[in-house]
Structure 1
Amino acid sequence: MYRARVVGCGAALPARRVTNAELAETIDTSEEWITQRSGIRERRIAGEGEKTSDLAIAAAQAALSRAGISGSDLDLIVLATTTPDQTFPATAVRVQAALGMTKGAAFDVQAVCSGFVYALSVADSMIRTGQMQTALVIGAETFTRLLDWTDRSTCVLFGDGAGAVVLQAVQVERGAGGRGILSTHLHSDGRYQDKLYTDGGPSSTGSVGQVRMDGREVFKHAVANLAAAAAEALAANGLSPAEIDWVVPHQANRRIIEEVGRQLDLPKEKIVLTLDRHGNTSAASIPLALAEAVSDGRIKQGDLVLLDAMGGGLTWGSALIRW
Structure 2
Amino acid sequence: MSSHYSPQAGPGAGSRIAAVAGVRPERLVGNDELADSLGVSAEWIERRVGIRERRFAGPGEPLTGMGATAAAKALSAAGLAPADIDLVVLATCSMPSPMPNGAASVAALLGIPTAAAFDVNAACAGFCYGLGVADGLVRSGTSRRALVIGAERMTDWVDPADVDTATVFADGAGAAVVVRDHRTRIHPVVWGGDGEKASLVTIPDRHSRVTMSGQAVYRWVTTELVHVAREACERAGLVPAELRGFVTHQANLRMIERLARSLGATNAAVARDVVLTGNTSAASVPLALSRLIDLGEVGTGDPVLLMGFGAGLSYAAQVVTCP
TM-score range, shorter chain: over 0.9
In structure 1, what is the Cα distance between the partners aligned to 2:115 and 2:73? 21
Query: How far apart are the structure 2 equivalents of 1:275 and 1:127?
Result: 31
Alpha-carbon distance in structure 2 between the residues aligned to 1:268 and 1:13: 28
1:93 counterpart = 2:98: no
Q: What is the Cα deviation at residue 103 of structure 1?
A: 3.2
Retained in 2: the 8 A contact 1:4–1:169?
yes
Q: CA RMSD in A?
A: 1.4
Give the aligned length: 311
Give me the whole-angstrom Cα distance separating, in 2, the residues matched to 1:216 and 1:10: 31
Inter-partner Cα distance in structure 2 for 1:15 and 1:139: 18
Single out whichever of 163-172 and 309-318 deviates more from structure 2.
163-172
**Alpha-carbon shift at residue 86 of structure 1 (Å):** 2.8
- 2:305 matches 1:300: no
Contact 2:309 2:316 in 1 (8 A): yes
CA distance in 2, matches of 1:269, 1:246: 5
User: Which residue in the other structure is 1:31 paired with?
Assistant: 42
What are structure 1's unaligned runs of at least 5 residues?
Answer: 173-178, 202-206
2:16 is matched with which residue?
A: 5
3-state secondary structure, aligned to 1:320: strand
Is the 1:148–1:210 Cα contact (8 Å) retained in structure 2? Answer: yes
Q: Does 1:40 align with 2:51?
A: yes
Maintained 8 Å contact 1:79/1:109 = yes
Does the CA-based 8 Å contact 2:244-2:268 persist in structure 1? Answer: no
By how many angstroms is 1:49 displaced? 4.1
Q: Tell me, what secondary structure is at the counterpart of 1:150?
A: coil
Give the AA of the match of 1:186: W
Q: Find runs of 4+ consecutive structure 1 residues off by over 4 angstroms.
A: none
Return the alpha-carbon distance in structure 2 between the equivalents of residues 242 and 268 of structure 1.
Answer: 6
Tell me the alpha carbon deviations over residues 5-29 of structure 1, each in whole angstroms, 9 at most, x when there is no partner. Answer: 1111111111000000110122111
From 195, 209, 216, the counterpart of 1:190: 195
TM-score where L is the length of structure 1: 0.93
Distance in structure 2 (CA, Å) of the matches to 1:246 and 1:92: 29
Counterpart-to-counterpart distance in 2, 1:272 and 1:161 = 16
Q: TM-score, normalised by structure 2?
A: 0.93
Cα distance in 2 for partners of 1:50, 1:243 equals: 39
Determine helix, strand or coil for the equivalent of 2:188: strand
Match of 1:204 in 2: none
CA distance in 2 between partners of 1:126 and 1:161 (Å): 26
Contact conserved, 2:27 with 2:55, CA < 8 A, in 1? yes
Whole-angstrom CA distance in 1 between matches of 2:96 and 2:171: 14
- C-alpha displacement of 1:85: 4.2
Corresponding position of 1:140: 151
Matched, 1:256 2:255: yes
Counting aligned pairs with the same residue, the percent is: 40
Closer/same/farther in 2, CA of residues 45 and 191 from structure 1, 3 Å limit: same
Equivalent-residue separation in structure 2 for 1:40 and 1:268 (angstroms): 24
Aligned partners of 1:183 and 1:321 also within 8 Å:
no
